[in-house]
């Protein structure tokens, strides 16, 4: 391994986290765990350091980064105003997998926000992430740890080949908890607009008596020239090289029948299905997505990274109900399948 590496799987060695925090202070970039996915972090107030993240990922410069904080004072240093609805979201969901978009102060460099006058902020609940930010004493700008376009990294083994040597330090705490990236929201006229679905669900926010609007681009194709509320919506994302097809039905029998029909049409097919359905598919190539939404969200990026090694003509993926965490799973899968989607 070329990058410095700390194994924190058994023991969260604070000295190693301090070393990584020093590296961030010195203007380097560090691969670290959050509760959602792994991130590549830099001092959010240092434009040069943040530029290194864009280089390492090959990320488009018009796709802004989320700034991670460990205490509420950091928020007030970065944003102009925290409204009542934002405060309610913070009280209920921070620390946790919710990114809130605010009007930014001047101190936030343009490279972080892709020139927007807003900035996305989140306070992670993962203890290594919290310590890293606390020891650095700085807000940390961090996108997901992956080369742009690939599935986000949920464990180091999946991303080591593409990121070793590109970051100064790697903090490895094993498999993440959640597996899909944070929910991204923007409050407009007291309503919460969902710009990217995640573990904090529409239903979770509605429970607080807040009106929620799901931006239509979450499930639809979005062209590069189209104006969107969240630039990340328009990029090719998560897609394996092998052609993928997403199939969904409320009715399990119909779902299995349709997938078996699609299997007939191709020579070699790999199916990603739920545990309960796997044995019903007429192909030898199968991968188990798990059963619950929590299991599927945890497994999905690792599975998407495996499919190309099967050398099949088609990958068929079982869809899930677009409800709760299912909305986030379907948002990622529709992109992985490049909108090749059948609903019956």
Question: What residue ranges bind ligand AMP (CB under 6 A)?
Answer: 63-66, 101, 113, 116, 118-120, 143-144, 181, 184, 195-196, 229-232
What is the DSSP secondary-structure string of 56-115?
HHT--TTSPPEEE-SSHHHHHHHBS---HHHHHHHHHH-SSSEEEEEEBPTTS-HHHHTT
Sites for Mg ion among residues 105-144 (CB under 5 A): 144
Q: Which is closer to ligand AMP, CB of 178 or CB of 271? A: 178
CB 216, min distance to ligand AMP, A: 15
CB 152, min distance to Mg ion, A: 5
With CA atoms as reference, report the closest residue to 151 among 30, 307, 270: 307
Closest CB to ligand AMP belongs to which residue? 232
Q: How many Å apart are CA 306 and CA 240, to the nearest integer?
A: 9
Residue 231 contact among Mg ion, ligand AMP, none, beta carbon within 5 to 8 Å by kind: ligand AMP
Residue 78 contact among ligand AMP, Mg ion, none, beta carbon within 5 to 8 Å by kind: none
Q: Does position 331 bind Mg ion by CB under 5 A?
A: no
Q: Which is closer to Mg ion, CB of 85 or CB of 142? A: 142
Q: Which residue has the tokens 């991968």?
A: 287
Sites for Mg ion among residues 138-177 (CB under 5 A): 144
Residue 86 contact among Mg ion, ligand AMP, none, beta carbon within 5 to 8 Å by kind: none
Q: Give the list of residues 6+ apart from residue 321 with CB closer than 8 angstroms, or none.
A: 248, 250
**Beta-strand pair 244-248/314-318:** parallel
CB 37, min distance to Mg ion, A: 8
CB-CB contact of 43 with 49 (8 Å) = yes
**Bridge-partner residues for 97, per DSSP?**
none
> Which residues of this chain interact with Mg ion, rule CB under 5 A?
144
């Amino acid at each position: 391994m070329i990058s410095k590496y700390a194994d924190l799987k058994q023991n969260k060695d604070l000295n190693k986290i301090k070393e990584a925090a020093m590296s961030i202070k010195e203007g380097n970039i560090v691969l670290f765990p959050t509760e959602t996915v792994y991130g590549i972090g830099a001092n959010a107030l240092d434009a040069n350091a943040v530029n290194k993240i864009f280089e390492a990922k090959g990320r488009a410069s018009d796709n802004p980064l989320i700034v991670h904080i460990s205490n509420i004072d950091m928020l007030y240093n970065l944003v102009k105003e925290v409204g009542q609805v934002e405060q309610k979201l913070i009280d209920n969901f921070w620390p946790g997998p919710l990114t809130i978009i605010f009007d930014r102060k001047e101190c936030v460099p343009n490279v972080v926000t892709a020139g927007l006058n807003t900035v996305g902020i989140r306070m992670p609940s993962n203890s290594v992430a919290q310590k890293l930010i606390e020891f650095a004493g700085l807000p940390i700008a961090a996108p997901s740890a992956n080369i742009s376009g690939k599935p986000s990294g949920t464990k180091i083994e999946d991303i080591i080949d593409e990121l070793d040597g590109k970051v100064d330090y790697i903090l490895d705490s094993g498999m993440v908890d959640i597996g899909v990236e944070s929910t991204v929201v923007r409050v407009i006229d007291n309503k919460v607009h969902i710009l990217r679905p995640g573990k904090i669900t529409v239903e979770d926010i509605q429970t607080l008596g807040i009106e929620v609007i799901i931006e239509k681009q979450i499930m639809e194709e979005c062209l590069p020239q189209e104006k969107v509320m969240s630039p990340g919506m328009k990029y090719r994302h998560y897609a394996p090289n092998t052609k993928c097809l997403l199939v969904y039905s409320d009715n399990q029998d119909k779902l299995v029948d349709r997938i078996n029909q699609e299997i007939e049409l191709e020579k070699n097919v790999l199916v990603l299905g739920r545990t309960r359905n796997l044995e019903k598919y007429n192909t030898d190539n199968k991968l188990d997505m798990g059963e619950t939404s929590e299991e599927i969200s945890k497994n999905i990026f690792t599975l998407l990274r495996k499919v190309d090694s099967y050398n099949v003509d088609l990958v068929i993926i079982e869809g899930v109900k677009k409800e709760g965490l299912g909305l986030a799973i379907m948002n990622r899968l529709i992109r992985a399948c490049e909108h090749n989607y059948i609903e019956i």
